[in-house]
Structure 1
Amino acid sequence: MTFESVEAALRGEISPSWLSLTHLDRLDLNHNDFEGSRIPAFLGSFPKLRYLDLSWSNFSGAIPPQLGNLSSLRYLDLRSYGLTTDGLDWLSRLSSLRYLDMSGVNLSTASHNWIHAVNRLPSLQQLYLSSGCGLTTLPASLSHVNLTALAALELRDNLFNSTFPSWLFELPRLSYLAISNSELHGTIPAGFGNLTRLTRFDLTGNSLAGSIPADIWSLTSLTLLDLSHNLFTSRLLPQIGNMTRLSQLTLVHCSLVGSIPTEIGYLTSLSDLSLSGNSLTGQIPIEIGNLSNLTNLDLSHNLLSGFIPPEIGNLSNLITLDLSSSYLEGTVSERHLANTTKLIVLCLYDNPLALQFHHNWVPPFQLQTVKLDAIKLGPTFPTWLRSQKSIMDLDMSNTSIQDAVPHWFWKNSSSSSIMDINLSHNQISGTLPASFESMTCLMFLNLSSNMLRGHIPALPSNLQALDLSNNSLSGSLPWTLSPLLVYLFLSRNYFRGSIPPDICDLQQLYALDLSNNQISGEIPNCWREATKLFFVNLANNRLWGKIPDTIGNLSNLEFLHLTTTVSPDVFRRRCDIAIG
């Protein structure tokens, strides 16, 4: 169902008695529920009708060609996932039509001639054929382009498998063009200099290659440019500085090479700059500090090097800062973040960086996502985190911490909405907090490869993933486990006692590793058929007795290890996919 409120929707069928409404000028029935009935053919009998909206009203079947009789129609919205068409020839009779939206309608049977039907509408200003229309034909050229009034063209999510159509350059009034996720390939030809009114341009999710045409950078009216997820091998040219009206520049996974030009600093209207997943090199230009309207800065997963310019601290509207996974070096200090009062997401992971704040510094922001893994934070636990009360996702793995987790951290976590904590691969000492059970929002906890000791306290009820492997924990295994657990890794510790029978009740469990402990007793004989277990490793313990018959119920089991130890790295990747 696509209705915003099914309870409030009108139902039933449209009565032929409506034919008496001979002066009807506007008919709007959008977001109702006509229970899969067909659009009545008699709706084509209203000679004065100028506006018709039947979108998302649960009509089905073929669109009646009688709608082509509505010679006065200017606005037609038929958006639906239940409608089809036997052809679009009827469209050519709607010579006054200015707005047409058939997104979601199955147009596959009309794919061969849709453009020719639409090209007969000289008054058309907005055309939307997106989201599952199933169009497969997009001609590279047209003998005559009649759509000179067209200002908006959206052809997202189709199956064109075509090259970029050059006839688009003959649409002088075009201001919005989106052909994303539509299997375009080849290179983009030159000609964008003709589209001087273009303000929004989206080609994301195709297979376009070659260089980004230089004349795209001459489109000074653009406010949005998204060429993400294509196969360009191109540079960002200095002419990018001409696009001073841009508010969103998204070039993610475009195979961009070269450096970020200093002219980027002229784009002072930018609120979103996303250049992640490319091969950009060189330093981050200090001119980025001029982009005072930026709310999102994402330069992650590139080959950038050098120091992070402290001018980033001028970006007082910044909400997301992601500079992760490059070769950035040096120290990040208070100066870099002093004015970022709105910052919510901070990602600097996988860089040869060090984060060094004064011991008493209180950040001006309240973070929700903190991704700092594989940079240097230690040796002490970061005290600036004490002021952060809104964190939901925290990753400080492999950050050279050689300290105990302070009590205030667990207290903050118990009273907050934190869902994911990863402090693995450090040298964290001490014991696990008694307040674990009160962390009701916690779903993922990874404290593996540390120096923790003591026993496991009562666990949170919503926990889905727990990794405490490779520590010095001892005592008994926990006997009360979250029924939502997807993976449980407790290997390479000093646990004693028996395997709790509650293990068999974990119907969501995908991987279980209790290897390399001192667990004794028999393996529980209670495994159920519905269990999703893919990996079980109980090796190198003190188990005895018969291998239980109910192991045969584990139809998804691929790895069973009862005598030798296998590194959990073999299957941890698969577990990450499973809990995705």
Structure 2
Amino acid sequence: MFGGKINPSLLDLKHLNYLDLSNNDFSGTPIPKFLGSIGSLRYLNLSNARFVGVIPHQLGNLSNLYYLDLQGYGLYANNLQWLSGLPSLQHLDMSHVNLRKASDWLQVTSKLMSLLEFRLSDCELRFIPSTPNGNFSFLVSLDLSGNFFENTFIPLWIFGLPNLVSFDLSDNGFQGPILDDLQNMTSLKHLYLSGNHFNHQIPIWLYSFSHLKFLDLHSNNLQGTISSAIENLTSAISIDFSYNELGGKVPRSLGNLCNLREIKLSSNKWSQEISEILESLSGCLSEKLEILELTDAQLLGHLTGELGMFKNLVKLTFVYNSISGPIPMSLGNLSSLRVLDLANNQFKGSLPQNFGQLSKLETLFIESNMLEGVVSEVHFSNLTRLIELFAFGNRLTLKVSHDWIPPFQIEELNLQSWNLGPKFPQWLCSQRNLRRLDISNTGVLDVVPLSFWDSSSQFEYLNLANNLFHGEIPYCPMIFVYFFSD
């Protein structure tokens, strides 16, 4: 995190052709104008370095530049005419730079005949002209996401980019169906159209994009069903159809996508039980799938042994459904899990003891279910990486030895309404990274140890309400403190 002023002695480096100052903190200082005098520069990366103010037009003197990255908040430009002096530019990223007044953005950049990668995400651009003054015939990557253009529809010239491999128009509010003109862009490997208003069915031709690796259509208003033709997306690595109005059944052919690592189907209207969906995914896909998200998908039924097939799952979320029955033991065998979120369902019974074998688990959310029974040291035996545990809204009892020291250093912990008492849970005093803690209504009738208050300065949120604490409360410089007791 370098900061301060950049010394003009950089100009003494007569042969400097590569300069990367990204991810530092030059907060409050403008980009130095003298950088435009380092004529030998071919690579310049000032991204996320917290420069502020106008981008100096002197950068247009760097005629040898092939790579320019200025992305980051705090910068702005009223026009982009200075880019005309960079005829060799291949990579341009000005994401998050305020270009609201730079109405010439397309006129200038479309004349950069060497440009391969072009990113203007979240730049407050107001309008995409219907025709560019030049052409982007060699363009490989185009990212215009997050601008919320005044255009209601995507201009047709964009669909005539023959070499485009990566295309991102997400978060722009475009309306209507996904235009058929897109089907001519058969070289695409990355397609991101999320956060728009495409309120029609997924076009059948989209499933023929056999080279497509990343497909993101989340947060639209897509209707209808997923076609069984999805099995033709044989190169797919990640598919995101979440937060739409899709319904019917998840096609069994989805399980034939052997390269798929990530599938997100949350917030749709699936007319299936959870076990049937898992069975649909149980082809060759099950051997490599790493992320499965089915949050708020109106799912019923019980989780069964099918989960045991997904040996490489890293993230599994089934939040806000109506899944009932016990949590299956097979979940405890998914040794690669880092995130497990089963919150807001109707799970019953006890927590499987073999959860303690999930040695890579970092986040465990099981709140707002109907779990009951005893949780012991065995449940945490190998959870050395656990940093988040939310388990409130259950009827669980923690029984550990008085001198137990957990194998983890947790950061956020919510055990509201568990049975922890009557003694204060001494093991909390061993947690040096704890920022947010809620052990309200847990049946504790005891003095809070001084060693617990020694760590109070690290807390952002602390809730000890509805217990029977006594003794002194020292000064606690926390953001939020709830300490109501009888």
Q: Normalising TM by the smaller chain, what interval?
A: 0.7 to 0.9
**Aligned counterpart for 1:347 among listed residues 341, 348, 351:** 341
Give the aligned residue type for 1:323: F
Kindly tell me: are residues 11 and 176 of structure 1, through their superposed partners in 2, closer, same or farther at Cα, counting changes over 3 Å? same
Q: How far apart are residue 151 of structure 1 and its match?
A: 1.2
Within 1, Cα distance between the matches of 2:245 and 2:100? 33
Give the aligned residue type for 1:342: S
Superposed counterparts of 1:30-45, under 5 Å: 30-31=20-21, 36-38=31-33
- 3-state DSSP of counterpart to 2:159: helix
Please tell me whether residue 11 in structure 1 is matched to residue 7 in structure 2: yes
- 3-state DSSP of counterpart to 1:228: coil
Give the aligned residue type for 1:125: L
Give the aligned residue type for 1:168: I
Kindly tell me: are residues 74 and 330 of structure 1, through their superposed partners in 2, closer, same or farther at Cα, counting changes over 3 Å? same
Superposed counterparts of 1:111-122, under 5 Å: 111=103, 113-122=104-113
Superposed counterparts of 1:176-575, under 5 Å: 176-283=166-273, 284-290=277-283, 291=285, 292-338=287-333, 340-354=334-348, 363=357, 365-381=359-375, 384-390=378-384, 391-401=386-396, 403=397, 405-408=398-401, 411-413=404-406, 415-426=407-418, 430-450=422-442, 452=443, 454-458=445-449, 461=452, 484=459, 486-491=461-466, 500=472, 502=474, 505-508=475-478, 510=480, 512=482, 514=484, 517=486
RMSD: 4.0
Superposed counterparts of 1:50-61, under 5 Å: 51=42, 53=44, 55-56=46-47, 61=54
Within 2, Cα distance between the matches of 1:463 and 1:192? 61
CA contact (8 A) 2:323 2:346 kept: yes
| Higher deviation after alignment, 352-361 or 261-270 | 352-361
Please tell me whether residue 158 in structure 1 is matched to residue 147 in structure 2: yes
Give the aligned residue type for 2:136: L
Aligned to 1:127: 118
Within 1, Cα distance between the matches of 2:329 and 2:321? 21
Per-residue CA distance 1:481-510 (angstroms, 9 max, x = gap): 66846444433x55678xx574xx444354
Aligned to 1:146: 135
| Higher deviation after alignment, 175-184 or 312-321 | 175-184
Within 2, Cα distance between the matches of 1:324 and 1:345? 12
CA contact (8 A) 1:281 1:305 kept: no
Within 2, Cα distance between the matches of 1:447 and 1:359? 22
- 3-state DSSP of counterpart to 1:135: coil
CA contact (8 A) 2:30 2:54 kept: no
Corresponding pairs, count: 471
Within 2, Cα distance between the matches of 1:159 and 1:508? 39
- 3-state DSSP of counterpart to 2:158: helix
Normalising by structure 1, what TM-score?
A: 0.69
Structure 1: gaps spanning 5 or more residues:
465-480, 518-580
CA contact (8 A) 2:437 2:462 kept: no
Structure 2: gaps spanning 5 or more residues:
none
Q: Hey, which bits of structure 1, 4+ residues long, moved more than 6 A?
A: 32-35, 40-43, 357-362
Q: How far apart are residue 194 of structure 1 and its match?
A: 0.8
Per-residue CA distance 1:230-268 (angstroms, 9 max, x = gap): 343453332222112111223343344333222220222
Kindly tell me: are residues 407 and 213 of structure 1, through their superposed partners in 2, closer, same or farther at Cα, counting changes over 3 Å? same
Normalising by structure 2, what TM-score?
A: 0.80
Kindly tell me: are residues 52 and 373 of structure 1, through their superposed partners in 2, closer, same or farther at Cα, counting changes over 3 Å? closer
Give the aligned residue type for 2:478: Q
Larger-gyration structure (1/2): 1
Per-residue CA distance 1:93-143 (angstroms, 9 max, x = gap): 7666544334454433322x3223333344432222235x3321123x438
Kindly tell me: are residues 355 and 62 of structure 1, through their superposed partners in 2, closer, same or farther at Cα, counting changes over 3 Å? same
Kindly tell me: are residues 355 and 409 of structure 1, through their superposed partners in 2, closer, same or farther at Cα, counting changes over 3 Å? farther
Give the aligned residue type for 2:120: L
Q: How far apart are residue 346 of structure 1 and its match?
A: 1.9
- 3-state DSSP of counterpart to 1:53: strand
Give the aligned residue type for 1:244: T
- 3-state DSSP of counterpart to 2:323: strand
| Higher deviation after alignment, 437-446 or 244-253 | 437-446
Aligned-pair identity in percent equals 23
Q: How far apart are residue 153 of structure 1 and its match?
A: 0.6
Give the aligned residue type for 2:335: T
Within 1, Cα distance between the matches of 2:328 and 2:461? 38
Within 2, Cα distance between the matches of 1:494 and 1:42? 70
- 3-state DSSP of counterpart to 2:107: helix
Give the aligned residue type for 1:433: P
Kindly tell me: are residues 145 and 354 of structure 1, through their superposed partners in 2, closer, same or farther at Cα, counting changes over 3 Å? farther
Within 2, Cα distance between the matches of 1:63 and 1:217? 45
Q: How far apart are residue 326 of structure 1 and its match?
A: 0.8
Within 2, Cα distance between the matches of 1:76 and 1:387? 50
Within 2, Cα distance between the matches of 1:282 and 1:463? 52
Q: How far apart are residue 195 of structure 1 and its match?
A: 1.1
Within 1, Cα distance between the matches of 2:220 and 2:403? 44
| Higher deviation after alignment, 373-382 or 288-297 | 373-382
Within 2, Cα distance between the matches of 1:69 and 1:419? 47
Q: How far apart are residue 462 of structure 1 and its match?
A: 6.8
CA contact (8 A) 1:12 1:35 kept: no
Give the aligned residue type for 1:127: F
CA contact (8 A) 1:265 1:289 kept: yes
Kindly tell me: are residues 361 and 93 of structure 1, through their superposed partners in 2, closer, same or farther at Cα, counting changes over 3 Å? closer
| Higher deviation after alignment, 60-69 or 392-401 | 60-69
Q: How far apart are residue 363 of structure 1 and its match?
A: 3.5
Give the aligned residue type for 2:321: S
Kindly tell me: are residues 11 and 130 of structure 1, through their superposed partners in 2, closer, same or farther at Cα, counting changes over 3 Å? farther
Within 2, Cα distance between the matches of 1:66 and 1:54? 12
Within 2, Cα distance between the matches of 1:446 and 1:54? 44
